[in-house]
Amino acid sequence: MTPADFGGRSAYEVLSVPFDADTATLKSAWRRAARRTHPDYGGDAAEFRLVSYAWELVGTPESRREYDRGFSAGGGSSHGRPGSTVPPRSGAGTRTAGPASGPAFSTRSGRGRSTSRGSEGDRNGAGTITYVPPLEDEMVLDLARSSQQIHGAPRKRGILPAGHRLVREARTIRTLQNHVLGSLPASRLVTGLHLTFGRLNSGAIDHVVLCGDRLAVIGSMQVPEGVYRWDGAEMWRGDRRLSPPSLAPAMVALQRAFPDCSVGGFILVLGPDENPHAPVIQLERTRSVLDSDAGFLTDPPANALQFSRDVKMFLGTGPLSGTVDRRLLARLLGAMY
């Protein structure tokens, strides 16, 4: 989804607020619009997606400044002014990683009927979504964020340059969006977490996917074109060793913080292009995983195709794979940095 889908309206007009509305007014308007348009309350699903996307574009000071700058650069006028018909420039406000030519991704919203007893919900071709507690209980988490499938975006950490990491994280999100989330409508992707539980420190966690009572911790690495082998603990290209990122601290911290969840670890290996079959990784288990953090991984590092299959198998075979636990989701969102 892009601002062009607003049909000439600005994000402010979609939310029915003036362009100079303060934060409190903007948030109140978003909540009213989300409730009015949500399919579970008799609204239109397409309009609800537009409302959710408009909120993502202007819902935080940072995203709002980016959206405003994009519009000003494209049309030279303030969007949302009465009578304004100049739409934002193509791509304005779309979250991207790295340079302007880097990959972009959009927010996908779940479509399910609220229920706390497992009663029948909306069927969107991929199964039934059950919300626990039901969507009517907004004290746990607001309706829009409960229904949204993708939360957060790649962003800078600290003062060091991070262009390469941001592009890699954006590619990871796009892989999950295209090959995992659509098959599991109750799954929720959260990007950019940091969790402290007692003396345990998770460090920066790139991505977590929640689906029912299962948590998939996602790491990634980008490698040059070629054929690789996995010895059970390290990846090799010829005699060159490539160590995958360690997911152990994140997995231990999440398992302690969410003891009722099953936590899995997965690493996506990205090649230089968008080919989901590359790189080729040969499995040669010649080394014990007990002497490395690789022992925490649920499956070996894999290219986009195999990685997506592994993650879907882990998340989709859980007994609650059709359930969005809003309390767990709220806790994960609260851990975003």
Which H or E run contains 108?
none
- How high is the pLDDT of residue 325? 97
Mean pLDDT of 31-51: 84
- How high is the pLDDT of residue 289? 60
In sign, the C-alpha dihedral spanning 68, 2, 35, 191 is negative
pTM score above 0.75 = no
Mean pLDDT of 23-36: 86
Q: Please, are residues 218 and 209 in contact by the beta-carbon 8 Å criterion?
A: yes
Mean pLDDT of 276-300: 84
Q: Please, are residues 114 and 134 in contact by the beta-carbon 8 Å criterion?
A: yes
User: What is the rounded distance in angstroms from the CA atom of residue 165 to the CA atom of residue 161?
Assistant: 9
- How high is the pLDDT of residue 214? 97
In sign, the C-alpha dihedral spanning 34, 36, 39, 43 is negative
Q: Please, are residues 93 and 85 in contact by the beta-carbon 8 Å criterion?
A: no
Q: Please, are residues 264 and 214 in contact by the beta-carbon 8 Å criterion?
A: yes
Stretch(es) of the chain classified as CATH 1.10.287.110: 1-83
Q: Please, are residues 15 and 51 in contact by the beta-carbon 8 Å criterion?
A: yes
What is residue 179's three-state secondary structure? helix
Fold of 1-83: Helix Hairpins (1.10.287)
Mean pLDDT of 309-317: 96
Number of other CB atoms surrounding residue 61 within 10 Å:
9
At residue 145, does pLDDT exceed 90? yes
- Averaged confidence pLDDT in the chain: 81
- How high is the pLDDT of residue 150? 94
Model pLDDT for residues 244-264, shown as the tens digit of each residue: 999 999 999 999 999 999 999
At residue 26, does pLDDT exceed 50? yes
Token digits for 206? 């790139």
Half-sphere exposure of 162 (CA within 13 A, CB side): 13
- Higher per-residue confidence, 41 vs 45: 45
Mean pLDDT of 139-159: 87
Q: Please, are residues 170 and 104 in contact by the beta-carbon 8 Å criterion?
A: yes
